[in-house]
Structure 1
Amino acid sequence: MQFKYLLFLLICSVTFAQNTDFPSAKVDEIVNRIQLPVFLSYQINITKLGAKGDSLTNNKAVFDKAMALCRKNKGGTIIVPKGIYKVNGPIHFVSNVNLKIEKGAKIKFSDNPDDYLPMVLTSWEGTMVYNYSPLIYAFECENIAITGEGTIDGEGGITWKSFKSKENEGKNLSREMNHNNVPLKDRKLGNGFFLRPQMIQFFKCKNILVENIRIEDSPFWCLHLLQSQSITVRGISYKSLNYNNDGIDPEYAKDVLIENVTFDNADDNVAIKAGRDDEGRANSATPSENIVIRNCNFKGLHGVVIGSEMSAGVQNVYVENCKTVGYLKRGIYLKTNADRGGFIKNIFVRKIQLDEVEDCIYITANYHGEGKGHQSEISNVSFSDITCNKASAAGIVIQGFPDKKIQNITLNNIEIKWAKNAISSENAENVLMNEVVIGERATVPSAAK
């Protein structure tokens, strides 16, 4: 049902039990469970190992040596002082290390794809493959951090950007491998397949801190939290405007706190994922879950997104006290389709301030109109205390399937001052709306004349 240029104030009661209160106690439980890394007193300044912050010298070997020294000393802090440090190739983490990039320091990666070989096991848009190494890569590490007030520059705007128009063969091959359950050892892409690497990837890691750094010019996704848990991301900022520059992508991730982040990236600010299609459904024991997002400033394509690669399921997500600092296409966006399966459930969003968007709240089970045979379950989603100045397309969109309806959606205290279309709700049941105003608030009815 659609309403155009319309005030919409609706209070309705329903007969089913639906918990709509924001579960602050659950949030506290998750945050208190997350462990911050603790480091030994050993420190190494990369300039003491011969690093030059002249923006020209290749410091790859120095960072490798610093990591090796930390491994030998059972951990420590690698200090990157003021300067621009060129690194022609990836930095691979070891456990118990804090990479501290000080104010005025920049790590500037090369954009030569050959520098990121040999390939490593990674994930590309929800499918496990061997591909170019992420620029910063941690595999099976624990107690690790990237901190400081410096910058990581991925140099993604020229060579890596050119990969976008050439990626279809590799992308389609990866999806065929997913659907056909090709063994991991045979999923070798890399050179010639044009699948861009992530800027930072933590893969099968735990007790992670990313704090206060600035991320610029990523080749692809900026910060990928893959099969990892006990993660804190706070105080970081972005200027990353290349194709598919998602800000933060938790995927099969558990116990995650994202707070006080200032986004400015060309795609989703936070995109919560959990694998794609057949492979994702096979990993249903490890959904993305227990994720807290709070006190963030959104700017980019979409604010908080769940999907579309979410086939193992996403649950227990809590978003609060966030606002936009510029245009967003969509504020809160839940997206899946009939290829995915899995579920999205127990999602709570409150106290969000949006300025101008295309759509304020968008929930769809038919993303891109694709797929068949694996419709997703979307249920138990609560939105409260949300304001928006303008929605150039729609205020609220809910799209299920006739035989797989979206269920138990609560909209409480929502005010959208202007929308081209107020509400479009199809194939949804148990939708509770209370104090929802789209357009000008109605007053007492006028008298007959």
Structure 2
Amino acid sequence: MNNLKKQNSILDQIRIPFFNKKKYFVKEYIKFFNKKNDISYAINNAINDCHNNGGGIVIIPNGEFYTSSIILKSNVNLHLQDDTVLKFYTDPNKYYNVFTRWEGIECINYISLIYAYNQKNIAITGKGILDGQASFYNWWSWKNDINGNHLQNDDVKILKNMDKNNISIKNRIFGINHFLRPNFIQLYLCRNIFISDIHIINSPMWEIHPVLSENITIQNIKINSLGPNNDGCNPESCNNVLIQNSIFYTGDDCIAIKSGTNNDGRKINIPSKNIIIKKCKMYHGHGAITLGSECSGGIKNIFIEKCTINGIIQSFFKVKNNAERGGKINNIYIKNINIKFIQNYFFNINYLYDEGDKGDFIPIVKDIFISDINVEHCLQVFNINTFKKSIVDNILLKNCVFKGLKTPEKILIYNKYNINIINTKFIS
């Protein structure tokens, strides 16, 4: 099956879920309104009623409202009206513990601001704003505060050691008095997901994080969140995903595809696959498209096309991996990309990320096909850093133009490899 047929086959399998037209108005569930009152009870009660009565649309009205966590349930479309601003509290005590994944490792930790577990036919729609209110005076300070402290580091180390030592998930308990930040939206073990038109700002950490989920459409969204680890959209161990017509201003990677970390990733062993990214605009971030570093379950069949890159983007396409993660990444198709400016590299593979070559698991990247790329300015086209026994192979670069180059290519690959460059110009 050729590239186009593969892509069309995936698109044929992705379906936007159907919702009953019955409407549930959150304002009818608010007992007493004060601007700063927590209305999460009203939103969740409306969702429960909608779910229990065959599904429909839960409507959050125009205006500014405050809330803590929202739990989505099957057959419910949570809809924000055009002038809705939903502000989420930053008090950790508002967020109880649930089963979750934190940077690819399973644990018990803070519920995400919007959460669903094992649900089907769910949606978040409308042109309103979801505001996590994160800043360096609350959630972001756990990564690095204004005094240079890194509060989360000890908990990250503890969680990684729990994974390494195969500690039971029920004993991997974090939350209150710990410093592992929640995601904004986490949809875990769900299917038939539709996220459209929303505007997300100021997320505690990753913005949209579907996990072990399938049949996902994310379209026409705007993300503007410049905090640490503020990835825009991170499908993890997901199948049949379409991300299109969306805008990203992020503090980390705009889109990062993942599949679990180390032992947990290998134990579950479910790759992210059949993912299409098209007609997106990236204006701020580390990588426009990144694979990893949590990729122990593998990543394959990724299609990236008709995207525009401009602004402060460090690199266009990145692979982050190491000998602790391992995992195979293959069948990546990139075409029709227009890039005005990227700070560093067009194509970056880094196998020396974090633990580097200290481990027993071999990173593999192969079968990457890149065509019809126009870059007005970038520092370097290829920046590839690997280690002995790791594998990079079969990369095709065809019909591309790279301008404004300042640095010769760096290709450090130890295995026998095949990089074909056809009808491509490198202009300094």
TM range (shorter): over 0.9
Q: Does the CA contact (< 8 Å) of 2:362 and 2:391 recur in 1?
A: no
Q: Once the 2 structures are TM-superposed, how far is the Cα of residue 436 of structure 1 from its aligned partner?
A: 2.3
Counterpart residue number, 1:377? 364
Counterpart residue number, 1:12? none
Counterpart residue number, 1:404? 390
Counterpart residue number, 1:131? 109
Give the letter aligned to residue 108 of structure 1: K
Q: Once the 2 structures are TM-superposed, how far is the Cα of residue 347 of structure 1 from its aligned partner?
A: 0.6
Counterpart residue number, 2:161? 176
State which of 13, 17, 24 in structure 2 corresponds to 1:37. 17
Counterpart residue number, 1:444? none
Counterpart residue number, 1:16? none
Counterpart residue number, 1:241? 226
Give the letter aligned to residue 416 of structure 1: F
Aligned pairs for 1:268-287 (under 5 A) are 268-284=253-269, 286-287=270-271
Counterpart residue number, 1:15? none
Give the letter aligned to residue 360 of structure 1: F
Aligned-partner Cα distance in 2 for 1:267–1:145: 25
Q: Does the CA contact (< 8 Å) of 1:56 and 1:86 recur in 2?
A: yes
Counterpart residue number, 1:354? 339
Counterpart residue number, 1:151? 129
Aligned-partner Cα distance in 2 for 1:226–1:209: 14
Give the letter aligned to residue 17 of structure 2: P
Q: Does the CA contact (< 8 Å) of 1:142 and 1:207 recur in 2?
A: yes
Give the letter aligned to residue 153 of structure 2: N
Question: Which secondary structure state, in structure 1, belongs to the residue aligned with residue 9 of structure 2?
Answer: helix
Counterpart residue number, 1:438? 426
Q: Does the CA contact (< 8 Å) of 1:327 and 1:355 recur in 2?
A: no
Q: Does the CA contact (< 8 Å) of 1:52 and 1:59 recur in 2?
A: no
Change (3 A) 1:53 1:208: farther
Find out whether 1:213 has 2:198 as its counterpart. Answer: yes
Q: Does the CA contact (< 8 Å) of 1:399 and 1:406 recur in 2?
A: no
Q: Does the CA contact (< 8 Å) of 1:51 and 1:85 recur in 2?
A: no
Counterpart residue number, 2:75? 96
Q: Deviations over 1:380-404 (max 9, x none)?
A: 1111111222223x22122333433
State which of 324, 330, 333 in structure 2 corresponds to 1:345. 330
Give the letter aligned to residue 28 of structure 1: N
Aligned-partner Cα distance in 2 for 1:70–1:436: 55
Aligned pairs for 1:13-412 (under 5 A) are 23-50=3-30, 55-87=35-67, 89-117=68-96, 119-157=97-135, 158-164=137-143, 165-284=150-269, 286-301=270-285, 302-357=287-342, 358-368=344-354, 370=356, 371-392=358-379, 394-412=380-398
Q: Once the 2 structures are TM-superposed, how far is the Cα of residue 51 of structure 1 from its aligned partner?
A: 6.8
Q: Once the 2 structures are TM-superposed, how far is the Cα of residue 79 of structure 1 from its aligned partner?
A: 0.6
Change (3 A) 1:113 1:260: same
Q: Once the 2 structures are TM-superposed, how far is the Cα of residue 198 of structure 1 from its aligned partner?
A: 0.2
Question: Which secondary structure state, in structure 2, belongs to the residue aligned with residue 161 of structure 1?
Answer: helix
Aligned-partner Cα distance in 2 for 1:33–1:52: 45
Q: Does the CA contact (< 8 Å) of 2:131 and 2:203 recur in 1?
A: yes
Q: Once the 2 structures are TM-superposed, how far is the Cα of residue 235 of structure 1 from its aligned partner?
A: 0.2
Deviates more, 1:419-428 or 1:128-137: 419-428
Q: Once the 2 structures are TM-superposed, how far is the Cα of residue 354 of structure 1 from its aligned partner?
A: 1.5
Query: When the two structures are aligned, how many residues end up with a matched partner?
Result: 416
Deviates more, 1:168-177 or 1:430-439: 430-439
Counterpart residue number, 1:5? none
Question: Which secondary structure state, in structure 1, belongs to the residue aligned with residue 57 of structure 2?
Answer: strand
Q: Does the CA contact (< 8 Å) of 2:62 and 2:81 recur in 1?
A: yes
Aligned-partner Cα distance in 1 for 2:209–2:56: 23
Where relative contact order (Cα < 8 A, 6+ residues apart) is larger, the structure is: 1
Give the letter aligned to residue 367 of structure 2: N
Deviates more, 1:296-305 or 1:398-407: 398-407
Question: Which secondary structure state, in structure 2, belongs to the residue aligned with residue 114 of structure 1?
Answer: helix
Give the letter aligned to residue 7 of structure 2: V
Q: Deviations over 1:193-252 (max 9, x none)?
A: 200000001100000000000001000000001111000000000111111110000001
Q: Deviations over 1:296-339 (max 9, x none)?
A: 00122210000011000000000000011312001111121111
Aligned-partner Cα distance in 2 for 1:224–1:169: 23
Counterpart residue number, 2:147? none
State the Cα RMSD in Å.
1.5
Give the letter aligned to residue 305 of structure 2: E
Q: Once the 2 structures are TM-superposed, how far is the Cα of residue 177 of structure 1 from its aligned partner?
A: 1.0
Q: Deviations over 1:340-373 (max 9, x none)?
A: 1111000111111112221111123222462321
Q: Does the CA contact (< 8 Å) of 1:54 and 1:84 recur in 2?
A: no
Instruction: Indicate the percent of aligned positions where both proteins have the same amino acid.
Output: 32
* Gapped regions of structure 2 (runs ≥ 5): 144-149
Question: Which secondary structure state, in structure 2, belongs to the residue aligned with residue 37 of structure 1?
Answer: coil
State which of 389, 407, 412 in structure 2 corresponds to 1:426. 412
Question: Which secondary structure state, in structure 1, belongs to the residue aligned with residue 296 of structure 2?
Answer: coil
Aligned-partner Cα distance in 1 for 2:84–2:34: 11
Give the letter aligned to residue 338 of structure 1: A
* Gapped regions of structure 1 (runs ≥ 5): 1-18, 441-449
Aligned-partner Cα distance in 1 for 2:373–2:63: 43
Give the letter aligned to residue 252 of structure 1: S
Question: Which secondary structure state, in structure 2, belongs to the residue aligned with residue 267 of structure 1?
Answer: coil
Larger Rg: 1
Aligned-partner Cα distance in 2 for 1:107–1:218: 12
Q: So what's the TM-score if we normalise by structure 2?
A: 0.94
